[in-house]
């Protein structure tokens, strides 16, 4: 496991104490340590044999000092990671790992220094397994509706904020204003879905929608209901649809989509580089009105990696997002 330590992507955040300083380097920064009794440091969790979700896990520990507190060092697989300076004898850190490490194990220990420079080690916690997040999805938020008018029936575009880690799929539930109960309308929708259409709704009927995320650990709470009575009814600015992505080579991807509006000023293209669970969409280009293609050859793509793309159109307001297109570049 030592040889794999370079692949650990570990995020440490102060959870219950105030940081007065931080040192990060490949080796311990402490020099000229004074000998003497330093008290003890004890880890409460996670402990030997535990499992932790890759998203975030709190390290709970306490220091029982003889002299005043100075700093605590964290070591993973016997490798120094970081130092935190604090005067609080009861502290907690958070760890996060790259999802690719799911199923692997690690060990860790803490080293405490008092105000005189004397040090003490915690016990080493071993054989801790990295797992997928063991929490139910977050409740979807920012649910919005747009009525897209057709010649005989309408469609309703439903969009929301995908703010969950570890969701398996989403469900969209609907009821009419004259019925008291919701029924499942759409789903299961894949992870990272945030934009779908309910086709074939009737004009002058008010529809209510709510959404939830589901994984093997349970269901999220439903989002707050929204209804078409307050949705935009013009349908003059629908989102782009049918977005596809094709890798031309290891450093170039071609996008293509359906332009469903006639009054946009430009399109915005966003890419998620997908290097970790916390990767976000970043704008990589703006494209002229009436465009339906774009080639991402910005020089930042890597062969053998999966990327995600989405687009939206802009006028005096912005449309909802298109579908997400994923593509893996060849080596």
Global confidence as pTM: 0.44
pLDDT number for residue 117? 82
Q: What is the pLDDT of residues 227-236, one digit of tens each?
A: 988 665 434 4
- CA pair distance 224, 179, nearest whole angstrom: 18
- CA pair distance 247, 255, nearest whole angstrom: 9
pLDDT over threshold 60, residue 9: no
Contact assessment for residue 59 and residue 107, using Cβ atoms and an 8 Å cutoff? no
Q: Residue 245 — pLDDT band, cuts 50, 70, 90?
A: very high
How many residues are there in the chain?
331
Query: What percentage of the chain has pLDDT greater than the value 90?
Result: 33
Mean pLDDT of the chain: 80
pLDDT number for residue 323? 87
What is each CA distance from 86 to 11, 116, 208, in whole angstroms?
18, 14, 51
pLDDT over threshold 70, residue 217: yes
The structure tokens listed for 189 are 């929708």
pLDDT over threshold 50, residue 20: no
Q: Residue 278 — pLDDT band, cuts 50, 70, 90?
A: confident
pLDDT over threshold 90, residue 136: no
Helices (H), strands (E): how many in the chain?
0, 25
Winning range, highest mean pLDDT, from 136-145, 231-240, 241-250 = 241-250
Q: What structural domains does the chain harbor?
A: 2-131 (2.60.40.10), 141-230 (2.60.40.10), 241-328 (2.60.40.10)
Instruction: Select the more confidently predicted residue: 163 or 292.
Output: 292
């Amino acid at each position: 496991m030592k040889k794999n330590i370079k692949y650990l992507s570990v995020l440490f955040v102060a959870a219950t104490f105030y940081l007065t300083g931080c040192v990060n380097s490949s080796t311990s920064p402490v020099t000229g340590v004074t000998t003497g009794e330093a008290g003890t440091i004890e880890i409460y969790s996670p402990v030997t044999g535990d499992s932790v979700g890759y998203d975030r896990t709190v390290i709970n520990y306490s220091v029982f000092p003889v002299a005043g507190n100075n700093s605590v060092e964290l070591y993973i697989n016997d490798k120094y990671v970081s130092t935190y300076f604090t005067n609080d004898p009861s502290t907690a850190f958070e760890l996060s790992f790259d999802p690719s490490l799911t199923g692997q194990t690690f060990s860790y220990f803490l080293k405490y220094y008092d105000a005189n420079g004397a040090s003490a080690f915690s016990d080493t916690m071993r054989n801790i397994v990295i797992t997928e997040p063991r929490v139910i999805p977050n409740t979807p938020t920012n649910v919005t509706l747009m009525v897209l008018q057709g010649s005989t029936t309408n469609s309703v575009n439903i969009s929301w904020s995908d703010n969950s880690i570890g969701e398996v799929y989403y469900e969209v539930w609907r009821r009419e204003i004259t019925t008291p109960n919701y029924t499942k309308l759409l789903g299961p929708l894949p992870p990272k879905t945030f934009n779908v259409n309910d086709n074939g709704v009737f004009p002058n009927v008010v529809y209510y929608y709510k959404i939830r995320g589901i994984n093997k650990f349970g269901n999220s709470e439903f989002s707050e209901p929204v209804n078409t009575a307050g949705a935009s009814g013009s349908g003059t600015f629908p989102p782009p649809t049918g977005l596809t992505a094709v890798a031309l080579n290891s450093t170039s991807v071609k996008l293509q989509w359906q332009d469903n509006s006639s009054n946009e000023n430009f399109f915005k293209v966003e890419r998620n580089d997908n290097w970790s669970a916390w990767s976000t969409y970043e704008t990589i280009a703006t494209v002229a009105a009436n465009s339906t293609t774009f080639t991402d050859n910005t020089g930042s793509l890597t062969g053998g990696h999966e990327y995600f793309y989405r687009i939206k159109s802009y006028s005096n307001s912005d449309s909802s997002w298109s579908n997400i297109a994923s593509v893996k570049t060849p080596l």
